[in-house]
Amino acid sequence: MATLALMAESTTPPHSSAHPTPDRPVYVIGGGPGGLSAAYALRARGIRAVVLEKSDRVGASWRGHYDRLHLHTTRRLSALPGLPMPRRFGRWVSRDDVVRYLEKYAEHHRLEIVTGVEVSRVERAADGTGWLLHATGGRELTGAAVVVATGYNHTPRVPDWPGRETYPGEFLHAGEYRNGEPYAGRDVLVVGVGNTGAEIAVDLVEGGAARVRLAVRTAPHIVRRSTAGWPAQYSGVLVRRLPVGLVDRISRAQARVAVPDLSAHGLPRPDTGLYTRVKQGAIPVQDVGLIDAVRKGRVEIVAAVDGFEDGGKIALADGSRVSPDAVIAATGYVRALEGLVGHLDVLDPHGKPVVHGPRTPPTAPGLYFTGFTNPISGNLREMAIDAVRIAKAIARDRSVTAGAVSRLPG
């Protein structure tokens, strides 16, 4: 990757404890969209930011997504600060083009990135100002502030289903799925009806799977990605500051017009309002073919998985049994922040940061988080906004300036 000041894995990052200096950079943990945009925003304010990325390239998580993935947010509202996405990417940007954009973003803004370095623990520096990072190879790095941007989808989550460990059939998490080619002519059960599960089910149908079943525990809200040229994201931006009850009523009325009733096919309209669900952490499913596939019987809705049984059978919540050739668990991810910052009293009972964006925890001034929310207005859009706000907060944070933060020359 052609990033200025990109250092090889064997290179010791600047300002390690072995080579103390009178000033310290801001360390950004994670080389995805959140980390890169935060590094740019800091650089734009004359503050030196060093991105620490555990893989060998930026945008590692994006490279691992399934082949057909396109953003559900528009190109214009998905760009990071300081660099628009090219018009040739189209309105709904593909996975590969997102990766190209992130590479170009790092190069264009001359970001300082260290690859092959994984941070395992963050703690207060011994002098009480700044932070000490424990990283790959025994490195100890001291920074004036830290921005944690390790990603919303960090570690695959697989429920502890009884019998799953001895299941003889093919089983994989959605994070390992790439395309439908290996499943042509096969019977596949997809577990989980978030955006990923819904899109993988459609991809399997289009890839020639003989049978596709989608296991659903809670019926989701389904919205059209775009209606008469109006993207759902635009509505999300407009309503996110409105009262939850009002948005629930608006979305309920809109759904009756735009989305057919799929109750006869196993997907009833949810009882809980759309925005109420969003506040609980469940964003709506944007339709990229699921509605049509369910109506035509090409994707069959079945009850949630209760457990795995002998002989390759899977028990469902309604008492029925299925015996698919393969199971794909679209069961989400966990943030996996406990080892990194769990000892600092900055996580809630669900393992999510208690603050995000420009706010910093009262118990850990100078520690910032970005990319750990899943807003209705679009994750990339909010990370771009947070990046600018975080940089502004760091620039005027006395606890950071007291730590002699590194400044860029002139």
pLDDT tens for each residue of the chain, 410 residues long? 434 344 433 344 554 444 444 479 999 999 999 999 999 999 999 999 999 999 999 999 999 999 999 999 999 999 999 999 999 999 999 999 999 999 999 999 999 999 999 999 999 998 888 999 999 999 999 999 999 999 888 899 999 999 999 999 999 999 999 999 999 999 999 999 999 999 999 999 999 999 999 999 999 999 999 999 999 999 999 998 999 999 999 999 999 999 999 999 999 999 999 999 999 989 999 999 999 999 999 999 999 999 999 999 999 999 999 999 999 999 999 999 999 999 999 999 999 999 999 999 999 999 999 999 888 999 999 999 999 999 999 999 866 665 578 888 76
pLDDT in tens, 200-250: 999 999 999 999 999 999 999 999 999 999 999 999 999 989 999 999 999
Structure tokens at 316: 């469902």
H/E/C letters for each residue in the chain? CCCCCCECCCCCCCCECCCCCCCECEEEECCCHHHHHHHHHHHHCCECEEEEECCCCCCHHHHCCCCCCECCCCCCCCCCCCCCCCHHHCCCCEHHHHHHHHHHHHHHCCCEEEECCCEEEEEECCCCCCEEEEEHHHEEEEECEEEECCCCCCEECCCCCCCHHHCCCEEEEHHHCCCCHHHCCCEEEEECCCHHHHHHHHHHHHCCCCEEEEEECCCCCEEECEECCEEHHHHHHHHCCCCHHHHHHHHHHHHHHHCCCEHHHCECCCCCCHHHHHHCCCCCEEECCHHHHHHCCCCEEEECEEEECHHHCEEECCCCEECCCEEEECCCEECCCHHHHHHHCCECCCCCECCCCCCCCCCCCCEEECCCCCCCCCHHHHHHHHHHHHHHHHHCCHHHHCCCECECCC
pLDDT in tens, 365-383: 999 999 998 889 999 999 9
Nearest to residue 301, comparing CAs of 405, 195, 197, 392?
A: 197
**Chain-centroid distance, C-alpha 67:** 17
Q: What is the pTM of this model?
A: 0.91
Go through the domains of the chain in sequence order and give each one's CATH number.
Answer: 26-154+335-401 (3.50.50.60), 158-329 (3.50.50.60)
